[in-house]
Amino acid sequence: MNSEAINSELKNIIESLLIVSETPLSVSVIQSVFDKEATPGPDEVESTIRELQRDYESRSIEVKKTGNGYRLQTRVQYAQWIRKLYASRPPKFSRAQLETLAVIAYRQPVTRGDIEEIRGVSVSTEIMQRLLEREWIRQAGVRDVPGRPELFVTTPQFLAYFNLESLGDLPPLMEQREFAEVAEDLAKDSGLSAPVEALSDLQTSDASNG
């Protein structure tokens, strides 16, 4: 076999692994399926995956890297049809859950106290429990202060779920602004979220009743 043929065979092997696997595959896991003397180098595996990604460019699926593994997934724009096929509603997460997750993701490692300081409310055990059950966060040691509070960090499963390659891939935190500027901007901003709008409706109806 010439080198081109070998390469296309390697591409097919990797593709078949990605199709079958239920979890993202790291380069070293991909390497582990080959006989010792036939094992491709890490660079070769990665360049072959890039080639596979080019092959898929015009297709409905893509090879995505999350954490340190590769997986095969459908593209964002086909979600609406897929969901209809199963008549499924995607799970929603509460603001409390998302805010807690955001603090952990951007400020890790953090204690519950850190999260409470930023959010200005106590963190319920239930919220932490849900994040832990989803395996988006895990405990990573304790902070060396009185009380030795637990420290929390995010996991590769968190990256995988939110389609992120690494933490550096998180949407950037907004710049911290002067407050006068914040207030001005907030006042101009009419894009109130739906529940808040509903609330102001309630106020109006209350006023008219009175």
Partner 1 sequence: MTSISNSKLPAPVLINGETLEKWPQNLFIPPDALEVFLETFQGPLDLLLYLIRKQNLDILDIPVALIIRQYMEYVELMRKFRLDLAAEYLVMAAMLAEIKSRMLLPQLYPEEDSEEDDPRAVLVRRLQVYERFRQAAQDIDSQPRLERELYLVSVGFQDPEPVKVESRASLNDLVVAFRNVIERSRLNRKFSIDREGLTMREKMAYILHKIHNTSRFVRFEEFFNLEQGRTGLVVSFMAILELMRDDMLVVVQNESFGSIYVKRNEQ
| Residues of this chain that bind partner 1 (CB under 8 A) | 18-22, 61, 64, 71-74, 76, 79, 82, 90-91, 93, 95-96, 98-99, 101-103, 105-106, 118-122, 160-164, 170-171, 173-174, 176-177, 179-180, 182-183, 186-187, 189, 192, 195-196, 198-200, 202-204, 206-207, 210
As beta bridge partners, residue 152 has 110, 139
Judge whether 49 and 31 are in contact, CB under 8 Å. Answer: no
CB of residue 149 to partner 1, shortest distance in Å: 19
Which residue number, 139 or 205, has a Cβ lying nearer to partner 1?
A: 205
Report the residue number, 79 or 142, with the smaller CB distance to partner 1. 79
How far apart CA 1 and CA 39 sit, in angstroms, is 16
Q: Which long-range contacts (CB under 8 A, 24 or more apart) does 196-204 make?
A: none
Nearer to partner 1, 17 or 132 (CB): 17
Q: Is residue 123 within 8 Å of 145, Cβ to Cβ?
A: no
CB of 27 to partner 1, least distance (A): 19
The two structure tokens encoding residue 99: 């805010």
Decide whether 28 or 124 has the Cβ nearer to partner 1. 124
CA dihedral 54, 56, 59, 61 (to 10 degrees): -130
